[in-house]
Structure 1
């Protein structure tokens, strides 16, 4: 049985090898990855693999992203502290917990009520109660709480939903995987003016599909 010391060592090695070792350098992101106990966000039977460099199943055919991808996407948001961030796809709650270490408020949308309930329980258990979770079609964003300084999407979309762009402040960043099933390009879109956006391709990636009215119709 793995003990808490083992998890602490594994987390430190994860940060050194998978995060810093692969080019993530933002000190706020590194500090957040060092703090959050990733093993608590996966099933007990998988906790010994929680700090390995690959995604893990969390139920409902969804996954917790590999640590590097969580860190890379968080860094791509270019957070400085104090921002309002929207996450599409709560999943395990791990990405939201990392964001909460930096942002002033995190709003997270999940389409599976079972995952939202489990994430809420874990987040409350570790004192991460500065995160709002809503069960709904994530392709709509969260219009009632918009605009956001940053939006992160943890599922692959066939194209960029315009509702996300509309819910960004000027200067805000959207990080989203876009492409076909099982193969996407991670993009960053910055809203440079009311009707102007700058799009960048960051890296190749592979996410579960973004399902909803403005995403894929089904998995």
Structure 2
């Protein structure tokens, strides 16, 4: 989808100014230099995917809570949006193409699905929490996005019948890359996940090449856990 360039500051509109500041002060310095990604961030209205109680935080460099009155607890449980710079870097590094079919695990408020939908042919996003799944569907509908579908489901355990996929995105962290999701990748497909345990996590991209999988881990970050994915066993002696 071709989008108009709209990343200039608009000092008469405080929301436009805040969006511009987010792009120029948080995202671009974090090595997000893809012009199409930067344009997309100026077009998809992040504030429309943030609950009213937290709308003032829409462009802040934090994980914005999505449920409840206890912000820290919401983030701890993974009921939050990833930081804007993390979302942007994931989108850039996975190189989503207009013909791609995309699977997202962890819809949250639907914002990442909206970004992916602007670049891909079709997006299926799984969200385990029913309240968040409903929120994401409504936000995508209000944004006029028709090629993204949100389903309530457990990405760690439920079967996904729509594969194979060209891109799989985990919008949260896991202790290790889920092998069941790798099996859903088309040849040439990419899976992106934040892998590891606090305080050491790395964004990891795995590309399928026939029967082989090539792995790169280009940058560090920290993100809340996606639920029900395996954790490493701990032993005490």
Q: TM-score, normalised by structure 1?
A: 0.90
Structure number with larger C-alpha Rg? 2
Matches within 5 A, 1:153-172: 153-172=170-189
Matches within 5 A, 1:81-120: 81-120=98-137
Aligned in 2, Cα 1:89/1:187: closer, same or farther, shift over 3 Å? same
Encode CA deviations 1:55-105: one digit per residue, 9 max, x unaligned.
Answer: 111125311111100000011111232211111000111111111111111
Please state if 1:215 is matched with 2:223. no
Aligned to 1:30: 38
Contact 1:181 1:208 in 2 (8 A): no
- Secondary structure class of the residue paired with 1:95: helix
Please state if 1:203 is matched with 2:211. no
Using the alignment, how far apart are the partners of 1:47 and 1:143 within structure 2? Answer: 33
**Cα deviation, residue 141, structure 1:** 6.6
Using the alignment, how far apart are the partners of 1:205 and 1:141 within structure 2? Answer: 27
Aligned in 2, Cα 1:105/1:164: closer, same or farther, shift over 3 Å? same
Aligned to 1:15: 23
Would you identify which runs of 4 or more consecutive aligned residues in structure 1 move more than 4 Å? none
**Cα deviation, residue 27, structure 1:** 2.2
Using the alignment, how far apart are the partners of 1:91 and 1:118 within structure 2? Answer: 8
**Cα deviation, residue 160, structure 1:** 0.9
Using the alignment, how far apart are the partners of 2:184 and 2:39 within structure 1? Answer: 28
Mark the runs of 5 or more structure 1 residues left unpaired by the alignment.
none
- Structure with greater strand percent: 1
Aligned to 2:97: 80
Mark the runs of 5 or more structure 2 residues left unpaired by the alignment.
1-11, 68-73, 233-237
Which segment drifts farther, 199-208 or 68-77?
199-208
Contact 1:192 1:198 in 2 (8 A): yes
Using the alignment, how far apart are the partners of 2:15 and 2:95 within structure 1? Answer: 28
Root-mean-square deviation (CA, aligned residues, Å) is 1.9
Count of residues paired in the alignment: 212
